[in-house]
Structure 1
Amino acid sequence: MSKIYTFEEVQQHRSAESCWVVLYGNVYDVTAFVPSHPGGSKIILQLAGTDATEEYDPVHPEGTLESSLPASAKLGPFDQSTVPVSDQTPEQTGTPNISPAQEQADDTPNSLAECLNIDDIEALATKKISRKAWGYYFSAGDDLVSKSLNNTVYRSILLRPRIFVDCTRCDTSTTLLGNKVSVPFFVSPAAMARLGHRDGEAGIATACGTYGAMQIISNNASQTPEQVVAGKEDQVFGWQLYVQTDRAKSEAMLQRIHQLPQIKFICLTLDAPVPGKREHDERTSLGNPSGGVAANLPVRSAVQSGSASTTSPDPEAKTLRLEEQIEDSDSAGAGGVGKALFAGTAPDLTWKATLPWLAAHTKLPIVLKGLQTHEDAYLASHYAPQVQGIILSNHGGRALDTAPPSIHTLLEIRKFCPEVFAKIEVFVDGGIRRGTDVVKALCLGARGVGLGRAPLFGNGAGGVAGVERVLEILKAETETAMRLLGCERVEDLGPQFVNARMVERDIFDGVDGVGGATGMEKVGAWVRSKL
């Protein structure tokens, strides 16, 4: 019979020389694994001698323990009854550690059936998810100025409905990068879905299948791409790429993605070469004020973990491993989940070097995510057909605070270089809360609209059913807005249906020689220098 270990015995092993943790009711000796932990040794040592299950489970797919540790590392069962009350987690004592937003959520919906809009979904999720999940999902850069403007800018754009138009029919279907979809909005890449609910990114994909929506899988997803796309042969996916400092790791990941025909394009993310300062995320990672298990997340996404589903041949060769350890204490501890996820991300990407490198390692279409100026949109259009689309985005306000909302950049393109729309597809994301927001973006030239936090909060509110409710609400609101405008099809939407003057007065006014009021005719030498 296996020895049963007590709390006192486990507590004696809290150093790099002897590191034990409790996972799923069993004690593991992870001493040999500490130096190679992808999230850095400091993170795993903060959990030494504790029950790390609640920190570990949301971000590691099934099989990670078995693939990362030898069988001998599993020492035996743990006697939970020996844990003093002062060392139990809030969940174990029945007193959950709630966020400030959760404290104010008493009058919000208590079920998905009561949720009438995306704000309701977020409020319900806030009641259900952990403090850590809320901090990571809600957080944005510095003072949340860009995040707030993302949400409010759409209110300054007015709609211009036409009358005496038959609105019996409404068709929200369209094509995105040549792929048929049922709705003009898609799920943007957003990490760590299993922090909110065990259904995770695979559950989001299931909901997308119900509504015919496209999904871009996050590079830092908490499930492997094989798990996300399994059984979804008829759906449309993209794969987000954060290029690693060690390019070989990204090249191995691309080889792995090429084995998944559901993934139709690569989404190269460029709006966060380094992590922004996300204080809500950092505060929830500073430690558990109740005195229980440390709140620092042992960050290791499903892709980074090296775990692959049974559909992935030769997983050891095809799995991207994040080897760089986070030695800086800001990254490993107080920096929060978001900062830790950036370990190993390359900050040295350029037009001249990165796109040719990418062309050598994938033939899939490229979508550039994170453009925030019309100049970069103009440059991107010169790389067609390798680049087939761009996503105008400020990373959900999570990178550079006071960066412009995507609608500002969309209007810049319309003003300074409208020819971009004829060369590549232009998408926007950030701040979408209503179907009217979707319609306004489409009227101004966007091909599709990305959703980031909404699916994450939907997942937190109810797993697959919660994400389905998000898509159901937005589809119904989009249809209503189109009917009231007098538009039967997505392709009928155009600038004649909106008045954006209040926003246009706030957009960039131009700099002579680089776009600007004199037009793009002076930009030739500048563009050639970047190509």
Structure 2
Amino acid sequence: MAKTYTYEEVQQHRSPDSCWVVLYGNVYDVTSFLSEHPGGAKIILQLAGTDATEEYDPIHPPGTLEESLPASAKLGLFDESTLPKSEKSPEETGTTISPAQEQADDSPDNLDECLNLDDIEALATKKISRKAWGYYYSAADDLHSKSLNNTVYSSILMRPRVFVDCTRCDTSTTLLGHKVNVPFYVSPAAMARLGHPDGEAGIAKACGTYGAMQIISNNASQTVEQVVEGKEGQMFGWQLYVQMDRKKSEDMLARIKKLPQIKFICLTLDAPVPGKREHDERTKSGGGVGANLPVRSAVQQGSASTTKPHPEEKSARLEERLEGDDSAGGVGKALFAGTAPDLTWKTTLPWLRKHTDLPIVLKGLQTHEDAYIASLHAPQVKGIILSNHGGRALDTAPPSIHTLLEIRKYCPEVLSRLEVYVDGGIRRGTDVVKALCLGAKGVGLGRSPLFGNGAGGVAGVERVLEILKAETETAMRLLGVEHISQLGPQHVNARAVERDIFDGVGAVGIEKLGLWVRSKL
């Protein structure tokens, strides 16, 4: 019979000479693994002597433990009754840290009462942990870009037409040549299992119900194989964060090649280094996830509040200096471990061509100049996603609808050369329709599926998609439009937003820009 250990017994093994952790109700001796851990020994030692399941589980796909440790490392069972009281959700502790939490008394108590995406977020806020809320809600600095993402659509007005038969409405469209039933898709948002055990696979199941596309995050909390298993009829993309160790990315691309459900690679470019997400970073205090995540980066290390790493130091020297650095960011910061900040037009796309023949969609373009350069790389590049990373990278970066209007003004031919998608701040079906009217082929949802997952797993994500589909249909009908393909700029008045888009020295003619581009490539 397996031996059972108490919390106090496990606590006695917190040194490099004897390091134990508790995972999934079992006690493991990870002493021999300390020197092999990719994030360094110090990260494991921060968790030594504790039940690390809550920190470990959302970050590591199932099977990681068995692949990393020998069977002999499992020492026995853990007596959970001896474990100190676990972290409660913000609602349970009475800590109000968001507008949704401040209105918790008036917010819905179940999915049936949720009438819009704000209701879904409020319900999820009641249920998920503070660390999950901090990661999902957070954005860079003062949240200006996140806020503008949410509010900019209200400045675009609809132009409804009357005396039009609106009994029929078809929200289906094609994305990269593949039919989908709705024009919005799930953006590559990481760590779904922080909010609910259903995770990314549950989101995929909900997408199957509504015929929606899903881009699987490079930092998903489940393996890509687990997410797409049994979903042969669905459309997926896979997000790529290129790693400093290129071999890791190449190996992953080889795995992706074996999965026919994956139709394209989404190369993310809007966060070469992590932004400063203060709501996320604050969760590191009091045993929060930021201080203990078992990953660490040499280049994008710790909190953006620190300036310890000198930019001219070599990576090896950085690792030496950071070994003694106790600062830490939140979940978002930890997930950037190993991400390459040295991508360029000249080097990265040729490298990628050698390792995948899937279409490439570039995510994170925020200027018409970069959109134009991307169009020169067709047909390898099939699409672009206009995005400011949900306001999570550079605060005061423009909302994607600004960039879309820039493209319409300065280089509209991009819209015919590539499929152009937008994401960020989508809260209503009217937002979806406005983006489509202005030339977007598809509209991405980032936080909403995560909050839907937190509110009720698969059912919560399905409710998100159900609400948005119904609102999109209503908007189309009231515009007098039957098919997505019929939506156009004649259905909206965007003058109020057009006044705010870029109109500076860089807005050169396309002929001149083309010469500039060729000189740089």
TM-score by length of 1: 0.90
Query: 1:265 offset after TM fit, Å?
Result: 0.4
Distance 1:243 1:327, change over 3 A: farther
Aligned to 1:298: 293
What is the deviation of 1:39? 3.8
Change (3 A) 1:454 1:386: same
3-state SS in 2 of match to 1:75: strand
Could you say if the C-alpha distance between residues 299 and 454 of structure 1 is closer, same or farther in structure 2, counting changes exceeding 3 Å?
A: farther
Give the aligned partner of residue 222 of structure 2: 223
Q: How does 1:362-511 map to 2 (within 5 A)?
A: 362-511=356-505
Contact 1:39 1:326 in 2 (8 A): no
Instruction: Assess, with a 3 A threshold, how the Cα gap between structure 1 residues 256 and 333 changes in structure 2: closer, same or farther.
Output: farther
| Structure 2, gaps ≥5 residues long | 297-317
How far the C-alpha of 1:294 sits from its partner, in A, is 6.9
Q: Where does the alignment leave 5 or more consecutive residues of structure 1 unmatched? A: 302-323
Deviation of 1:357 after TM superposition, in Å, equals 0.8
CA pair 200-56 structure 1, distance change in 2 beyond 3 A: same
Residue of structure 1 equivalent to 2:112: 113
**Are the counterparts in 1 of residues 87 and 129 from structure 2 also a CA contact under 8 Å?**
no
The match for 1:100 is: 97
- Aligned mates of 1:40, 1:493 — CA distance in 2: 53
- Residue 145 (structure 1) aligns with: 144
What is the correspondence of 1:92-241 to structure 2 with a 5 Å cutoff? 100-101=97-98, 102=101, 104-241=103-240
Match of 2:514 among 524, 527, 530: 524
| Percent identity for Structure 1 against Structure 2 | 78
Structure 1 stretch displaced more, 18-27 or 115-124: 18-27
Q: Label 1:90 to 1:382 Cα distance change in 2 as closer, same or farther (>3 A).
A: closer
Q: Match of 1:515?
A: 507
1:95 positional shift: 5.9
Post-superposition Cα deviations, 1:329-373, rounded to whole Å, max 9, x if no partner, equal: 799753111111111111111111111111111110000000000
Whether contact under 8 Å (2:46, 2:292) holds in the other structure is: no
Note if contact 1:436-1:478 (Cα within 8 Å) is conserved in structure 2. Answer: yes
**Count of residues paired in the alignment:** 497
2:2 maps to 1:2: yes
Deviations 1:117-158 (A, max 9, x none): 000000000000011100000000010000000000000000
Question: Is this contact kept in 1: 2:289–2:331, CA < 8 A?
Answer: no
Q: Which moved more, 1:47-56 or 1:225-234?
A: 47-56
User: How well do the aligned residues superpose, as a CA RMSD in angstroms?
Assistant: 2.1
Q: Tell me the distance in 2 between the aligned counterparts of 1:359 and 1:510.
A: 35
Tell me the TM-score normalized by structure 2.
Answer: 0.91
Q: CA deviation at 1:200?
A: 0.4
Code of the residue aligned with 1:17 in structure 2: it is: D
In structure 1, C-alpha distance between the alignment counterparts of 2:206 and 2:4, rounded to whole Å: 42
For residue 28 of structure 1, give the secondary structure of its aligned residue in structure 2: strand
Displacement of 1:527 after TM fit? Answer: 1.2
Using the TM superposition, give the Cα deviation of residue 460 of structure 1 relative to its aligned residue in structure 2, in angstroms: 0.4
CA pair 284-372 structure 1, distance change in 2 beyond 3 A: same
Partner secondary structure for residue 449 of structure 1: strand
Aligned to 1:30: 30
C-alpha spacing 1:444/1:294, structure 2 compared with 1 (3 Å):
closer
In 1: Cα distance, 2:325 partner to 2:132 partner: 17
Q: Cα 1:487–1:31, aligned 2, differ >3 Å: closer, same or farther?
A: same
Over 3 Å counting, the alpha-carbon distance change for 1:491 and 1:426 in structure 2 is same
User: For 1:326 and 1:451, how far apart are their aligned partners in 2?
Assistant: 40
CA deviation profile, 1:229-267 (whole Å, cap 9, x unmatched):
000000000010001111111111111000000000000
Tell me if structure 1 keeps the 8 A contact 2:58–2:193: yes
Aligned to 1:260: 259
Per the alignment, residue 49 of structure 2 pairs with: 49
Contact 2:256–2:262 (8 Å) recurs in 1: yes
2:283 counterpart residue number: 284
Q: 2:55 aligned with 1:60, yes or no?
A: no
